[in-house]
Amino acid sequence: MDYLPVCLRLRGTPVLLVGAGTVATRKARLLLRAGARLTVVAPQASAELQSLLADADGEWRRVVYSNSAQDGQALVVAATPDAETNRAVYRDACERGIPVNVVDSPELCSFIFPAVIDRNPLLIAISSSGRSPVLARLVRRKIETLIPAAYGRLAEFAGHWRDRVRTALPEEGARRLFWEQAVDGAAGELVLAGRETEAATLMERRLADSSALHRGEVYLLGAGPGDPDLLTFKALRLLQSADVVLYDRLVAPAIVDMARRDAERIYVGKSRADHAVPQQDINQKLLELAQAGKRVVRLKGGDPFIFGRGGEEIALLASHGIPFQVVPGITAASGGACYAGIPLTHRDYAQSVRFVAGYLKGDRVEHDWQQFASTTETLVFYMGLMGLPVICRELQAIGRAPDTPVALIERATMEGQRVLVGTLATMEDIVAREKPHAPTLIIVGDVVRLHRDLAWFGERDG
């Protein structure tokens, strides 16, 4: 290890910055954000740097660097274009025993600036030991995508509760378990969602009730229409924390595989003719697992609250006081339409969009069909493959033109996606010939005309 990672408390600390160009301005911005009392030595300074110093009550000395500039300083940074000046700053600082950094010169540094992920008070630093700052920044960008911006708020919240938890739970093992469940559980998720008051109430309840330490949680996650890349960061984070994962047939196997390797997986899929697990049994299973102290994820295709019966599942949990969260997902209409190059709304074609359940009840698709008469509204039918003949017939019966464009999207956003395009008059014959399989989505409206020009995913027209 070439360097020892440390975090310096600079609030109110005198720091010298030699140089006042673009690079120096970047360093000044970072030092001032850490609360340093900054002095800049340079004959000229950028307008931005002058503004930063004025806002932070810093000092600009319009002189050429000399050894005396380091008097009273606790930290020194050099960022000038003159190599001799930079070497002099380094030499003088070493003689005084002051930590020094010469930008872009690792050999003239007793400390270096890492790439920083700032979720204050949570900080993550990445360093290449001066070998490749660009690589360090690349790694920082990758890590930043995994660390929600609200983690700083979570760290503040934990700090506020630290003494109270230590008093209530003097035994280290119990305290560690409490914090693991709080930070990585329901209370932590509430804070990340900006609901600190509710999180505080939950903390109070769990500190007062030791049995709450062993109470589980449930997360209803929208898995999106199929493509694993459409899963949200939050959904992925919760999925990877689950003890048990319940998933249905609309969830892509690649998404289920993102769960922890040791997580139990339970298939609860339903199709039109085969309800592997009745809905009431799924609701009860979620409750029982949570009551057993498990962290449970319910993965649902698309969005849990759009034809996903998510409301029914959380109602039972709420009535028994089980902590839960619902994480939205990209619904099939949005994902499928985008991948097929079909804008659901468009200035020239449609000013609104309606999501409609298209499944049969007996031999009927039960709707007030007259409300679908507008030609400036896009209709998206979910679960409508079996009911397609009824849908096409009823829409024509209320006055929609037989040549109204229709698209059927099979396996939306997934490998093997197929788009069949026809009209209200021809779509039934196209489906009979092409024999698509569920899951499918049916889009009706003039926006379908844009499909040929805007599609970028694999498709096939009928």
CB 427 within 8 A of CB 379: no
Asked if residue 331 belongs to a known ligand binding site, the reply is yes
Residue 314 known to bind ligand:
no
In sequence order, which residues have a C-beta less than 8 Å from that of residue 180 and are 6 or more positions away? Answer: none
Burial class of residue 354 in the structure, from the number of CB atoms within 10 Å of its CB (0-12 exposed, 13-18 middle, 19+ buried): middle
Residue 214's pLDDT band (boundaries 50, 70, 90)? low
Q: What's the CA gap between 99 and 391, in Å, rounded?
A: 75
Q: Is 301 annotated as a binding residue?
A: yes
Residue 412 counted as an annotated binding residue? yes
Would residue 248 show up in a list of annotated catalytic residues for this protein?
A: yes
Q: Which CATH superfamily is domain 14-113 in?
A: NAD(P)-binding Rossmann-like Domain (3.40.50.720)
Residue 302 labeled ligand binder: yes
On whether 228 is known to bind a ligand per the annotation, the reply is no
* Dist. CA 326–CA 314, nearest whole Å: 9
Predicted pLDDT at 452: 83
Tens of pLDDT along 308-345?
888 888 899 999 988 888 999 999 999 999 999 999 99
Q: What share of the chain is helix, strand, coil (3-state, %, to 5)?
A: 40, 20, 40
> What is the C-alpha to C-alpha distance for residues 191 and 155, in angstroms, rounded to an integer?
10
Token output for 315: 């109602």
Q: Is 85 annotated as a binding residue?
A: no
Gap between the Cα atoms of 216 and 84, Å rounded: 64
Catalytic residue among 184, 270, 446, 461: 270
Q: Is 44 annotated as a binding residue?
A: yes
Residue 300 has pLDDT above 90, yes or no: yes
126: nearest Cα among 112, 147, 140, 108: 140
Active-site residue flag, 294: no
Give the range among 254-268, 361-375, 438-452 with minimum mean pLDDT: 361-375
Class of domain 215-330: alpha beta
pLDDT band at residue 164, thresholds of 50, 70 and 90? very high
What is the distance between the alpha carbons of residues 79 and 360, in angstroms, rounded to a whole number? 72
Structural domain boundaries in the chain: 14-113, 148-210, 215-330, 333-454
pTM metric for this prediction: 0.63
Percentage of the residues of the chain whose pLDDT score is greater than 90:
66
Quickly state the pLDDT bin for 459 (edges 50, 70, 90).
Answer: very low
Q: How confident is the model at residue 141 (pLDDT cuts 50, 70, 90)?
A: confident
With CA atoms as reference, report the closest residue to 283 among 309, 321, 301, 262: 309
For 333-454, the fitting CATH number among 1.10.760.10, 2.60.120.200, 3.30.950.10, 3.40.50.150 is: 3.30.950.10
Residue tagged active-site, from 27, 248, 285, 294: 248
Residue 462 labeled ligand binder: no
Asked if 223 contacts 231 with a C-beta cutoff of 8 angstroms, the reply is yes
